Amino acid sequence: MIASAASGPRFDESLSSVVRGLHVGEIAFASVVGAWLLFAWLERRGRREWARVPMATYTASARPYRASEVISEHLTRAPRIVRLVSFSGLAFAHLFVPIILIALVSYPFDGIAIPLIPGIALALLDWICAWLLLGRSPNAAQAARLAAVGSLMANVGLLVMSAAHLVGVELQRRDGIEHACSTSVTLLVIVFATSSIALATVMLRALSTCRRELDWSESQPRSL
Determine, yes or no, domain membership for 96.
Answer: yes
Residue 224 inside a domain? The answer is: no
pLDDT digit string (tens) for 16-68?
A: 666 776 788 889 999 999 999 999 999 999 998 888 888 744 444 455 555 45
Residue 17 forms part of a structural domain: no
What per-residue confidence (pLDDT) applies to 174? 54
* Model pLDDT, residue 35: 95
Specify if 200 maps to a domain: yes
Residue 113, pLDDT score: 66
The pLDDT, as a whole number, for residue 103 is 78
Domain for residue 50, yes or no?
Answer: no
* Residue 130, in any domain of the structure: yes
The pLDDT score that the predictor gives to residue 223 is 37
3-state secondary structure the chain: CHHHHHCCCCCCCCHHHHHHHCCHHHHHHHHHHHHHHHHHHHHHHHHHHHCCCEEEEEEEEECCCEEEEEEEEECCCCCHHHHHHHHHHHHHHHHHHHHHHHHHHHCCCCHHHCCHHHHHHHHHHHHHHHHHHHCCCCCHHHHHHHHHHHHHHHHHHHHHHHHHHHHHCHHHCCCCHHHHHHHHHHHHHHHHHHHHHHHHHHHHHHHHHCHHHHHCCCCCCCEC
Domain that includes residue 139, residue range: 31-45+78-215
Asked whether residue 82 is domain-assigned, the answer is yes
Residue 157 maps to a domain: yes
Residues of the chain with pLDDT under 70: 1-18, 21, 56-74, 107-113, 168-184, 218-224
**What integer pLDDT is reported at residue 70 of this predicted model?**
47
Q: Considering its fold, how many domains does the chain have in total? A: 1
